[in-house]
A = this chain, B = another copy of it.
């Protein structure tokens, strides 16, 4: 007695190349080639195969394809945050470019946590991404995982936030120059009691901004008051806390260079809370632009970090590297910035 094979509901089998091949009486490989538009196959056959595939609702299996081809056409992106205009704008552009260039992108968010970041890079390597764009988490001190990627010959591009690593691809903003510009501007306005709410200085952006700050002060012959240089992180709370600390010490400056836009928001919150007016009682400027800054009270001036350029140059660099793994020479790209002046940092308000 023959056993009847029950084609139960669970097994709604997906159409494979083979199914199409059988139905058409050709070989699997012919179908494979036709579907990819390979010139080997005659136009007529290609047409027929494509049509049949459509009718059957064929959907190529990405896993199988990548496995066999040893290429995933996928890039990984590791960002420290996503719910922050700077990064969401960047990722937005990255998706666009990737789409145009036929790449899939795997985005992961480390939440400023180096442990997570490491796991995520491992996962990305595990998915055999062709390359990775990464903006490192603020607490990154261990670079081993980057070396691992390198050893595996998976190209890396560090974007905006780069580690202290010799010979790697970087695409960053001229942070030092930008900080210099901002402080220079403030001093020319008349400010003298100038503070810097800095981020982590183990990350390039924190360090560079700090350097630019000091350089501008020096060049103008101004001393830096150490209690006005506060290292924190890049978040809102950090801005709030730093402000409050100085307020309690009755040691508030006239002007603050805020290391990020969220930090500036923290300063706004704190100032509002203690009844101090911006820019009259205390003035500031921050790094990072976003549309809503126009509608803050007062509109917040900033150093613009061009997200589209960051995204585009990072992608180009990465793809360039992917297409030439063997003798690629790492590049370090620096992008210029400009001051965007709105309601803060535009005039000296103390008499």
Chain A contacts to B: CB under 8 angstroms: 9-10, 12, 14, 57, 59-64, 66-67, 72, 81-85, 88-89, 91-92, 95-96, 99, 104, 106-109, 111, 116, 122-123, 125-128, 148, 151-153, 236, 265, 268-269, 272, 291-292, 294-298, 325-326
Question: A295 contacts which of B57, B96, B268 (Cβ < 8 Å)?
Answer: B268
B-side contacts of A268, CB under 8 Å = 295
Report the copy number of this chain in the oligomer. 2
With A88-B83, A296-B295 as contacts: A63 and B59 at CB distance below 8 Å? no
A4 to chain B, nearest CB (A): 21
A111 to chain B, nearest CB (A): 8
Q: Are B108 and A95 in contact (CB under 8 A)?
A: yes
Instruction: Give 11 pairs: A residue, B residue, CB < 8 Å, sorted on A.
Output: A9-B326, A63-B66, A82-B91, A83-B88, A92-B109, A95-B108, A104-B106, A265-B292, A269-B294, A272-B295, A295-B296
State the CA gap A127–B67 with chains docked (Å): 12
State the CA gap A289–B96 with chains docked (Å): 27
State the CA gap A262–B294 with chains docked (Å): 13
Interface centre among A63, A81, A95, A236 (most CB of B within 10 A): A63
State the CA gap A294–B272 with chains docked (Å): 10
State the CA gap A84–B290 with chains docked (Å): 11
A152 to chain B, nearest CB (A): 7
State the CA gap A325–B12 with chains docked (Å): 12
Q: Are A64 and B62 in contact (CB under 8 A)?
A: no
Residue of B nearest to A107 (CB): B107
Interface centre among A9, A95, A294, A298 (most CB of B within 10 A): A95
State the CA gap A10–B127 with chains docked (Å): 20
State the CA gap A60–B125 with chains docked (Å): 9
Residue of B nearest to A125 (CB): B59
A151 to chain B, nearest CB (A): 7
Q: Are A126 and B95 in contact (CB under 8 A)?
A: no
B-side contacts of A265, CB under 8 Å = 291-292, 295
B-side contacts of A152, CB under 8 Å = 12, 14, 57, 59
By Cβ-Cβ distance, the 9 closest A-B pairs, closest first, are A297-B297, A83-B88, A62-B127, A63-B67, A88-B88, A63-B63, A62-B126, A83-B92, A295-B296
B-side contacts of A10, CB under 8 Å = 325-326
